[in-house]
Amino acid sequence: MNPRFKRTKILVNRRVQGRVVLHVLYLWAAYHLVLWHVMLFFRVVQYGAERLNGGAALTFSQLFAEFVHNHYSMIICGAIVLPYLIWDVLKLTHRFVGPFVQFQRTLARLARGEKVTEVRIRTDDFLGELQDAFNEFLRASPLLDREAERLPAQVAQPRQPTESDDAQAVLAGVEEIKASVSAELDPAEHAPSTR
């Protein structure tokens, strides 16, 4: 696996990471909503016990205002934690979405019949076992670019056909055609001798 390097994109795959972040936001909101209402329920039960022991009578709105006044710090703490939670979820999703993106790109190149190099993921990414199995599959494939594996990344560019390659192929084709045409026009040269 490659030494540790930083990804520059916040979202490697918007669809996957966006869904995970939205789901975590939903869970965060549901947790706080349930916590708030359970605590309010216990305050109402506590108030009922206080009323039985001769406590002051309060309307529900007064009881709720008192509850909010006593527990508003919980909402502030939840809001402070939320950005850290989102950032941590994004970093965590990078660790499995990043390798998936690399596998996806390599498979797309294989589908186009291009030569590929082995997949290398970061040391702290998930799916290291999948990388090993995938690279083992690639080693058995004729489309693995073994020269690129030996060369540095800057040098390992696939060779592009040049105009001279095309011209040589055309000249070779013309020479073949000339040879076949001359053979057909001059059958005496190619006829077996009768001597």
The verdict on residue 99 lying in a domain is: yes
pLDDT at 189: 52
β partners of residue 68 = none
pLDDT surpasses 60 at 191: no
Bigger pLDDT: 138 or 155? 138
Query: Would the pLDDT of 48 be above 80?
Result: yes
In a domain, 116, yes or no: yes
Is 180 within the bounds of a domain?
Answer: no
Name the least confident of 9-18, 100-109, 153-162.
Answer: 153-162
Residue 137 in domain:
yes
Q: Does residue 77 surpass a pLDDT of 70?
A: yes
Q: What is the spatial distance between Cα 77 and Cα 54, in angstroms, rounded to a whole number?
A: 35
Residue 49: inside a domain: yes
| CA–CA–CA angle 30, 126, 101 (5° rounding) | 90
Question: What is the tally of structural domains in the chain?
Answer: 1
| Cβ pair 31, 39 in contact under 8 A | no
- In degrees and rounded to multiples of 5, residue 38 shows phi and psi of -65, -45
pLDDT (mean) for 65-74: 93
Is residue 170 a part of any domain in this protein?
Answer: no
Average pLDDT over residues 88-98: 89
121 or 185, which is more confident:
121
Domain range for 60 is 14-150
pLDDT at residue 109 is higher than 60: yes
Q: Are 97 and 17 in contact (CB under 8 A)?
A: yes
Percentage of the chain surpassing pLDDT 70?
69
Phi, psi for residue 64 in degrees, rounded to 5: -65, -40
Contact status, residue 138 vs residue 116, Cβ threshold 8 Å: yes
Establish if 164 belongs to a structural domain. Answer: no
Looking at 8-17, 80-89, 126-135, which range is the least confident one? 8-17
What average pLDDT is seen over the chain? 79
Residue 20: pLDDT band (50, 70, 90) is very high
Does 156 score more than 60 pLDDT? no
What's the chain's Rg over C-alpha atoms? Answer: 36
